[in-house]
């Protein structure tokens, strides 16, 4: 278990390093609000859709393709989304509900979840994690666009406008374009894949630097209650609900552990990019990412210890 603790820290530490770098660069005035706005737009419209496209195209869909696991994961994602949204309606100001909901249900599965699944279960964890990541990317982005569009300042919430927001979202377009290439195993030129990977590799550091540049003690204090509430929902209550449901559904051992890791992962950096693109409270989104990334080092390891003690994994 000590190895898993070290693995969790080794995955989350670089995230914090890039966040801190963003804070430092903003203090040194090497970056400013104009840079952050432009870079966030580049991530949202360019590098992140490319990263999602490559993630699905490169995933091995033939290994560990388990329809029951995928169906449960999708249903559990919908349930956790509904629980987070319902709680936001009861406890949050209307303008913050979209940010709270996205922060509470959207996990960093492509970085933290997949890395931990691979660390624990090797190629099997990588195969299952890749398939689930491809599925959840589509679910996360559709649900995030939906809830952010409803609560964005001045947004129109008629069905036509919401459908247009979903269909024109660059992240969803990136996923949709990748599906036929992955399904029919269409090979792309190697030079094109290499160029796309160079471009996509900018996503996480650039997004995290922007988040760090956005953070301030004043904004953290102002949004502390909502940020902490969303973070507790992300790290404790929703993983508990989803993991217990998975156990009741009959999942055990590696399958149950991977499901837990995916639901217990900290809030994804994409939530900040989406919040900023939707003209939402991106400072609140940034605070939730920071809190959940730090808290996940503790919550994930406690969760794994409990699952092992119960003999479920």
Check residue 255 and give its pLDDT: 93
pLDDT at site 63:
59
Q: Name the CATH topology of 2-309.
A: Na+/H+ antiporter like fold (1.20.1530)
83 and 229 Cβ atoms separated by less than 8 Å: no
pLDDT score of 121: 84
Q: Which residues of the chain have pLDDT under 50?
A: none
Q: Name which of 266, 258, 242 is nearest 123 in CA terms.
A: 258
pTM across the whole model: 0.84
Identify the pLDDT of residue 258: 92
Dihedral-angle region of residue 152 (phi above 0 means left; psi in -120 to 50 means alpha; beta otherwise): beta
Query: According to the model, what pLDDT value does residue 96 have?
Result: 93
What is the pLDDT at residue 138? 80
């Amino acid at each position: 278990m000590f190895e898993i603790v070290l693995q969790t820290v080794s995955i989350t530490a670089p995230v914090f390093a890039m966040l801190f770098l963003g804070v430092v660069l903003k203090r040194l005035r090497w970056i400013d609000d104009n840079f952050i706005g432009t870079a966030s737009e580049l991530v949202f419209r360019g590098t992140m859709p490319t990263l999602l496209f490559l993630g699905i195209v490169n995933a091995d869909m033939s290994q560990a393709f388990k329809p029951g696991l995928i169906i449960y994961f999708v249903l559990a994602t919908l349930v956790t989304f509904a629980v987070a949204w319902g709680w936001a309606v009861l406890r949050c100001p209307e303008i913050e509900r979209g940010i709270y909901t996205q922060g509470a249900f959207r996990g960093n599965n492509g970085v933290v979840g997949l890395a931990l699944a691979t660390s624990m279960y090797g190629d099997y964890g990588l195969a299952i994690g890749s398939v689930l990541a491809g599925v959840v990317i589509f679910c996360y982005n559709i649900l995030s666009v939906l809830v952010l569009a409803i609560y964005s300042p001045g947004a129109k919430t008629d069905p036509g406008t919401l459908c247009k927001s979903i269909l024109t979202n660059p992240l969803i377009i990136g996923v949709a374009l990748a599906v036929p290439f992955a399904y029919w195993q269409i090979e792309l030129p190697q030079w094109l894949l290499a160029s796309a990977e160079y471009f996509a590799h900018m996503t996480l550091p650039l997004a995290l630097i922007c988040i760090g540049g956005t953070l301030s003690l004043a904004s953290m204090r102002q949004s502390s209650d909502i940020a902490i509430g969303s973070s507790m929902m992300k790290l404790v209550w929703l993983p508990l609900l989803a993991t217990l449901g998975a156990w009741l559904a009959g999942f055990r051992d590696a399958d149950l552990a991977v499901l837990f890791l995916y639901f217990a992962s900290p809030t994804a950096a994409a939530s900040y990019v989406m919040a900023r693109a939707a003209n939402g409270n991106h400072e609140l989104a940034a605070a939730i990412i920071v809190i959940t990334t730090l808290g996940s080092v503790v919550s994930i390891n406690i969760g794994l210890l409990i699952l092992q003690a119960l003999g479920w994994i």
